Structure 1
Amino acid sequence: PLNVPDKYKDFIWFVTPKDIIRKMVIDYERSQEPYSRPEPFRPRMDDQ
């Protein structure tokens, strides 16, 4: 079970491990780049 705030309990959450891993890898790689500017994470939906 995810730790979801009460105001979002009625939402349906679809999160796949692949999406989580991809975000973690992208965030890690960006944190390694010097002077990197964070950008919002946008998953690509074309590789389903």
Structure 2
Amino acid sequence: MCAQPGASIVSIALSHDLNANFVDQWIRLQAQNISCSLGLESEQSLTHKCV
């Protein structure tokens, strides 16, 4: 749902009675987990290491 083009994190969060900041954080964490599983560490991984 959040990955669809034009999707608004705020509207999706509100439609599920969630805080938009939490949804944004979950999306970022999921993207980081995918990057780690593919072995793609970015510059931002200096603070968040792949485990």
TM-score in terms of structure 2 length? 0.39
Larger Rg: 1
Q: Which has the higher contact order (CA 8 A, sep 6+)?
A: 1
TM-score of the superposed pair, with normalisation by structure 1? 0.41
Pick the structure with more helix per residue: 2
